[in-house]
């Protein structure tokens, strides 16, 4: 039996975290040393970006963890434990952390990423007005910028189309100005049409 068929059967064609039936896909839980069946879960498109910290946490959505924490599958329990810890400021999440049982091996897996040590805040690329930036967006420079290592001066009001987010630095984006790829600080841009 292939992995997807196994996960669909195990989950009864529902998200193993929130029970949604829309946009389901396989998701490998990070830091597992087990086989794919034991280290994967079947979840929806609303859960994935919040787990991966690409979207702000929606505490109301995650209230579903009160039910999914009772799963018999380690990958589900590990994911639930991580998400509850990110939401620990919510009283219901703190209560559920106290009730959730993970054996020693599951607890080591859950702690392996260090995700439980972070709070619920998510660092996203934001423009000078606080709007969330995505790959492919267009931005407008709100200040003239001298480009280091070049004679290029990116003028105030320059439109930079099809930006790319710098993965490990939410204060930087990349874009082309006069054909040259440059790094731009997000504090000096505003999202176009926002």
Q: pLDDT tens-digit profile of 104-130? A: 999 999 998 877 666 656 778 989 998
Within this chain, do residues 111 and 144 fall inside the same structural domain, yes or no?
no
Label residue 37 by pLDDT band (50, 70, 90). confident
Residues 6+ apart with CB under 8 A from 65: 17, 80, 83, 84, 93, 96
- The answer to whether residue 110 is domain-embedded is yes
- The answer to whether residue 130 is domain-embedded is no
Share above pLDDT 90 across residues of the chain, in percent, rounded to a whole number: 73
Q: Burial level of 136, CB count in 10 A (0-12/13-18/19+)?
A: exposed
Q: What is the model's pLDDT at position 132?
A: 87
Residue 38: phi and psi, rounded to 5, are -85, -20
51, 85, 117 - which closes a domain: 117
87, 117, 147 - which closes a domain: 117
Q: What is the mean pLDDT of residues 154-171?
A: 92
**Measured between alpha carbons, how far is residue 167 from residues 62, 94, 135, 136 in Å?**
26, 31, 10, 14
Tell which phi-psi region holds residue 162, choosing left (phi > 0), alpha (psi between -120 and 50) or beta. left
Helix (H, G, I), strand (E, B) or coil at 40: strand
Within this chain, do residues 83 and 146 fall inside the same structural domain, yes or no?
no
Q: What is the model's pLDDT at position 31?
A: 83
Name the pTM for this structure. Answer: 0.71
Helix (H, G, I), strand (E, B) or coil at 47: helix
Within this chain, do residues 148 and 91 fall inside the same structural domain, yes or no?
no
Within this chain, do residues 17 and 98 fall inside the same structural domain, yes or no?
yes
Q: What is the model's pLDDT at position 53?
A: 84
pLDDT at residue 191 greater than cutoff 80: yes
**Residues β-bridged to residue 183:** 174
Mean pLDDT of the chain: 91
pLDDT one-digit tens code per residue, 171-188: 999 999 999 999 999 999
DSSP structural state of residue 90: S
Q: What is the model's pLDDT at position 100?
A: 95
Domain of 20 in residue numbering reads as 3-117
pLDDT one-digit tens code per residue, 10-30: 999 999 999 999 999 999 998
Share above pLDDT 70 across residues of the chain, in percent, rounded to a whole number: 96
- The answer to whether residue 127 is domain-embedded is no
Q: What is the mean pLDDT of residues 189-194?
A: 87
Label residue 193 by pLDDT band (50, 70, 90). confident
**CB crowding 61-89: b at 16 or more within 10 Å, else e:** ebebbeebbebebbbbbbbbbbbbbbbee
Within this chain, do residues 22 and 113 fall inside the same structural domain, yes or no?
yes
CB-CB contact of 65 with 96 (8 Å): yes
Within this chain, do residues 42 and 101 fall inside the same structural domain, yes or no?
yes
Domain count, the chain: 2
Within this chain, do residues 111 and 182 fall inside the same structural domain, yes or no?
no
Q: What is the model's pLDDT at position 116?
A: 66
Q: What is the model's pLDDT at position 102?
A: 95
Helix locations, the chain, DSSP H: 3-11, 36-39, 47-51, 59-62, 65-68, 74-86, 91-99, 104-111
pLDDT one-digit tens code per residue, 123-156: 789 899 989 899 999 999 999 998 888 888 899 9
CB-CB contact of 65 with 51 (8 Å): no
């Amino acid at each position: 039996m292939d992995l997807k068929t196994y996960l669909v059967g195990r989950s009864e064609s529902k998200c193993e975290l929130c029970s949604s039936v829309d946009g389901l896909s396989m998701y490998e839980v990070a830091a597992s040393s087990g086989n794919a069946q034991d280290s994967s879960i079947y979840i929806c498109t609303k859960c994935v970006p919040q787990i991966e910290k690409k979207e702000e946490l929606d505490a109301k959505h995650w209230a579903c963890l009160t039910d999914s924490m009772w799963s018999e599958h380690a990958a589900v329990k590990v994911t639930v434990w991580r998400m509850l810890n990110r939401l620990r400021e919510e009283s219901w999440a703190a209560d559920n952390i106290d009730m959730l049982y993970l054996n020693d091996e599951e607890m080591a897996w859950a702690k392996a990423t260090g995700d439980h040590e972070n709070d619920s805040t998510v660092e996203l690329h934001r423009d000078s007005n606080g709007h969330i930036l995505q790959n492919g967006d267009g931005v407008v420079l709100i200040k003239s910028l001298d480009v280091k290592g070049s004679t290029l001066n990116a003028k105030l009001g320059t439109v930079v189309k099809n930006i790319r987010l710098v993965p490990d630095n939410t204060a930087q984006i990349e874009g082309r100005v006069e054909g040259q790829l440059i790094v731009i600080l997000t504090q000096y841009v505003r999202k176009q049409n926002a």
